[in-house]
Structure 1
Amino acid sequence: MSSPPVAIEEGISALVFSCTTRYHYFENVHHVDHELLSTFDHMTARLEVSVLRAACWGKAIMTGYTAWQQQLRKHDGGRLELDLDAQTLIFIEP
């Protein structure tokens, strides 16, 4: 059985994926819907990540989907390097 934080993380991932499929994987979308971000706030209220603002969630989601849409798909693969301290996501060609 999954721990509550793991289950919530999986739920957030499922919600984001469901939302992105309706919007063509965020192609030509520049922000995440406020209602979705508000849902994350409610889902994570009792977890360490509850200190994150909605803008942080939105930036993380858009950064990830931008990398996937504009880099990984365009180059038919590759590698992403994430630096959480610097808040950067770098694409490296295959």
Structure 2
Amino acid sequence: MKSILVEGHTDCGGVKAAWHGNGEGNLKTWLSYIRKNLPEKDGINKLTEDNLAKINVLKQVENLKDHPIYKTYGQGVEIIGSLFHVASGELELLNRGGDELLNKLL
């Protein structure tokens, strides 16, 4: 395997639910994984839901890179973060420029 693609998408219901505090029991565990990747709500940040989806993808890329199996066996396997734009069909590559985008979004 040469690469792993972590792909999010615009208008993501999971990101919306995690951000707005959906407490539905069946979704709680799944949404907790998304919520921990999103910044704290402080009333100051005016992040769009699509930017939150980008942040989630980039954090998932970081999580994968920190996983023990990837650290042991992932040498030479590139992890690519991307966002699929539902309206246009565009696939936006997010992490080809290092951590710059994540720092800009946060």
Q: TM-score band, normalised by the shorter chain?
A: 0.3 to 0.5
Structure showing greater relative contact order (alpha-carbon pairs closer than 8 Å, 6 or more residues apart): 2
Higher helix share: 1
Higher strand share: 2
